[in-house]
């Protein structure tokens, strides 16, 4: 293009003058310099400008979710589109895909933190629905939540409480005793009274990113439904959206704790329940009485303090059956192992008469179960315990909208935690075996149509029924972890008493609305319903009497 004599380095140019090519930057050098400039500018903006920082972090969160979702979709698209020589080969390959996808998802949830951690914790509880590779992989999220820095929580405290922590506390432990998906808890001492308190402080980044995270979560579930319509999980995103904003307002938690403590103060003998007293509450800061304890399923702790597992199991049953079946009592919807503790006390001075207290934490998510649903649910469980399958079908349809034989069998298995065969021929004296639990999961994954029907049931039933199912499942697992030597029989008899009381009150209300107050027919109906109620509750008294005689006999012989 140019004459040779004008080429760089020729003798025709004075050596002191620069070559024209050296004056034009190379593309690589230009890109490098531009990249450095953008990077430096980005770092400056990130450090000094809140809007720029928000945009950068938002972009990063979206990128994490998008990348993880795309990778998982490609993994499943690949394996589901393959032809396999046998069903065993397909199952093995699908299990590997479950594991890879779960690990990718775990890293994404840990990276973004916040409500993504909570989503992972929900996944661990869906053992009756999701493959083992998914539920097991998410287990670390129960105890491995990212923590906020002391500087971050100090700034939040001043903003919400209107004063620095040093004005309110004489001491404040910078190391949190617990870190959860939404908040972390520190131990402090009140200046004014010297009382030791627990200070629950919300992670500061949640308020900024929750709307985006909810949107992303719902988008992912909607995409899953679009590509895999037979596995609708959109209800999980909807439930998170309905509950997360309630949980993020700690004044709701304070009110729930006060109401629950007030109600249960009349039932300490049955429940041995202790709810930490609320000291102060703002939207993102909660100060409460410090009540420490051990995990409820710590059998070594129970043994060291001579606490009998069957007593703990009984109290646990009374706590949650009270919440589910008693009118106007709210249901604690997150009773996992981290939200329950047990502590030994002196039996001689204990108002409950027990040598322990069950401590219930985290009252952020409560639901009020409608009275009619409590009644239908009571009828359902009484028919389960009586082995009355037609009645089971009737009331499953009424309170959960279950129709069709296959869907009914699946629902009965899900709500009882038993295999379909055992759920329809219920024997309360027999605990679930490991083989039975494996059989349930195997049927879900191997029997055509069962998993799809279960997904449909979960997506279409009322949300409150889902929360009852979740509470049932969590408390059942806790009860089993106690290794109760008496088995599940007494637990079910306690529940039967609560169900019977609900049905008895319903019957009295119906009789009063149907017959004249002093008519012979009304008197006969009252007598019949009273006798049915007494017969039901006497079963528990007879059982307790038999157990007492057995224990006395055992002590005498030993």
State the DSSP string of 442-486: HHHHHSTTHHHHHHHHHHHS-HHHHHHHHHHHHHHHHHHHTT-TT
479: number of Cβ within 10 Å? 22
pLDDT, residue 514, reads 93
The two three-digit tokens of residue 419, written as one number: 């295999």
Single pTM value for the model: 0.77
The two three-digit tokens of residue 553, written as one number: 């006999």
Which residue, 543, 544, 534, is CA-closest to 501?
Answer: 534
The two three-digit tokens of residue 159, written as one number: 């903003």
Query: Which residues touch 229 (CB under 8 Å, ≥6 apart)?
Result: none
50 is catalytic: no
| 3-state SS assignment for residue 349 | coil
Q: In degrees rounded to 5, what are phi and psi of residue 171?
A: -150, 150
457: number of Cβ within 10 Å? 22
Q: At what angle do helices 463-481 and 309-325 cross, to 10 degrees?
A: 170
pLDDT, residue 434, reads 67
| 3-state SS assignment for residue 279 | strand
The two three-digit tokens of residue 156, written as one number: 């939040």
Q: Give domain limits for the chain.
A: 4-46, 49-146+206-247, 375-462+491-557
pLDDT, residue 414, reads 78
pLDDT, residue 186, reads 97
pLDDT, residue 196, reads 98
| 3-state SS assignment for residue 403 | coil
287: number of Cβ within 10 Å? 23
For residue 344, what are the β-bridge partners? 356
Which entry of 334, 362, 453, 479 is annotated as an active-site residue?
334
300: number of Cβ within 10 Å? 8
Q: Give the chain's largest Cα–Cα span.
A: 130
Contact 462, 285 (CB under 8 A): no
pLDDT, residue 21, reads 40
- Low pLDDT (below 70) residues in the chain: 1-61, 125, 127-129, 143-144, 230-233, 426-452, 484-487, 547-548, 551-552, 554-558
User: Secondary structure of 134-194 in the HEC alphabet?
Assistant: HHHHCHHHHCCCCCCCHHHHHHHHHHHHCCCHHHHEEEECCCCCEECCCEEEEEEEECCCC
């Amino acid at each position: 293009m140019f004459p040779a004599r004008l080429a760089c380095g020729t003798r025709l140019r004075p050596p002191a003058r620069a070559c024209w090519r050296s004056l034009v930057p190379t593309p690589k050098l230009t890109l490098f310099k531009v990249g450095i400039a953008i990077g430096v500018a980005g770092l400056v903006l990130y450090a000094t400008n809140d809007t720029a920082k928000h945009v950068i972090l938002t972009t990063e969160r979206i990128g994490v979710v998008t990348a993880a979702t795309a990778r998982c979709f490609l993994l499943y698209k690949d394996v589901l589109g393959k032809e396999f020589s046998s069903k065993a080969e397909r199952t093995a390959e699908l299990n590997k895909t479950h594991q890879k996808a779960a690990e990718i998802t775990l890293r994404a949830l840990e990276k973004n933190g916040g409500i993504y951690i909570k989503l992972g914790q929900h996944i661990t509880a869906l053992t009756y629905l999701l493959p083992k590779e998914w539920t097991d992989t998410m287990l670390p999220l129960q105890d491995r939540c990212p923590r906020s820095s002391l500087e971050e929580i100090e700034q939040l405290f001043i903003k919400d409480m209107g004063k620095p922590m040093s004005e309110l506390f004489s001491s404040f432990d910078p190391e949190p005793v617990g870190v959860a998906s939404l908040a972390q808890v520190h131990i402090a001492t009140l200046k004014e009274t010297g009382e030791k308190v627990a200070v629950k402080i919300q992670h500061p980044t949640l308020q900024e990113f929750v709307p985006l995270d909810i949107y992303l979560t719902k988008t992912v579930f909607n995409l899953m439904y679009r590509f895999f319509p037979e596995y609708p999980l959109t209800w999980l995103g909807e439930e998170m959206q309905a509950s997360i904003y309630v949980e993020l307002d700690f004044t709701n938690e304070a009110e729930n704790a006060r109401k629950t403590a007030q109600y249960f103060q009349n039932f300490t003998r049955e429940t041995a329940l202790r709810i930490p007293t609320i000291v102060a509450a703002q939207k993102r800061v909660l100060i409460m009485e410090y009540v420490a304890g051990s995990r409820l399923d710590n059998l070594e702790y129970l043994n060291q303090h001579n606490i009998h597992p069957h007593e703990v199991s009984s109290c646990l049953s009374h706590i949650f059956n009270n919440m589910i079946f008693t009118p106007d009592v709210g249901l604690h919807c997150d009773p996992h192992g981290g939200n329950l503790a047990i502590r030994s006390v002196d039996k001689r001075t204990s108002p409950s008469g027990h040598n322990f207290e069950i401590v219930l934490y985290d009252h952020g998510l409560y639901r009020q179960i409608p009275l009619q649903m409590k009644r239908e649910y009571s009828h359902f469980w009484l028919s389960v315990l009586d082995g009355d399958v037609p009645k089971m079908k009737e009331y499953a349809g009424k309170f959960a909208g279950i129709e069709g034989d296959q869907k009914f069998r699946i629902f009965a298995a899900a709500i009882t935690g038993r295999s379909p065969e055992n759920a329809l021929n219920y024997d309360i004296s027999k605990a679930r075996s490991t083989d039975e639990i494996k059989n349930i999961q195997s049927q879900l994954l191997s029997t055509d149509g069962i998993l799809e029907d279960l997904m449909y049931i979960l997506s279409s039933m009322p949300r409150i029924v889902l929360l009852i199912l979740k509470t049932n499942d969590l408390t059942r697992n806790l009860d089993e972890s106690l290794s109760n030597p008496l088995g599940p029989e007494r637990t079910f008899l306690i529940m039967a008493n609560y169900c019977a009381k609900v049905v008895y009150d319903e019957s009295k209300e119906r009789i009063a609305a149907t017959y004249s107050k002093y008519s012979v027919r009304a008197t006969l109906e009252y007598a019949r319903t009273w006798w049915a109620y007494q017969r039901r509750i006497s079963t528990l008294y007879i059982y307790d009497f038999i157990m007492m005689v057995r224990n006395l006999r055992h002590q005498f012989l030993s």
